[in-house]
Amino acid sequence: MSTMAAADYEKTDIGTIQIAPEVIEVIAGLATIEVPGVAGMSGGFAGGIAELLGRKNLAKGVKVEVGQREAAVDVNIIIEFGNRIPEVAAEIQRNVKHAIESMTGLHVVEVNVHIHDVHFKTAAKPEEEETALQRVK
């Protein structure tokens, strides 16, 4: 995360407008989990446990660097098995860039997408089925 000095905020005729980096992280997190194929956010390799589609902490797995007029974003995700990773990642980039730019007026110079895991839908495990078949002969 990056913190901004008061000089970095937009000044208007009647005061200043301050957008905390945490707000941009939440915007990026929401824009990320809206994309089909995203199973959840990841705190990163060192961050530990991933959160699947939880809205409890929308900034989890998001890192932003904010300047006076620009922002750079890194998102760490878990992708659902069966999705084309390049397509999902490109859609995340478009969605995050659009959301931040339209809500804050900042120019987004980078959206880096890091895929940390693949989520498999829970179904009957093949090993369990094979074991059951072997016992009943």
Instruction: Break the chain into its structural domains and give their ranges.
Output: 6-135
* Residues facing residue 65 across a β-bridge: 72
Q: Does domain 6-135 have CATH number 3.40.50.150?
A: no
Q: Phi, psi (5° rounding) for residue 91?
A: -70, -35
In angstroms, the CA 49 to CA 29 distance is 16
Neighbours of 135 (CB within 10 A): 7
Each of the 137 residues of the chain gets a pLDDT tens digit; together they read 444 433 456 778 899 888 899 999 999 999 999 999 999 888 754 444 445 544 456 778 899 999 889 999 999 999 999 999 999 999 999 999 999 999 999 999 999 999 999 999 775 555 555 555 666 66
The DSSP letter of residue 106 is: P
Asked if 9 and 16 count as a contact pair (C-beta separation under 8 A), the reply is yes
Element of type H or E holding 97? helix 85-104
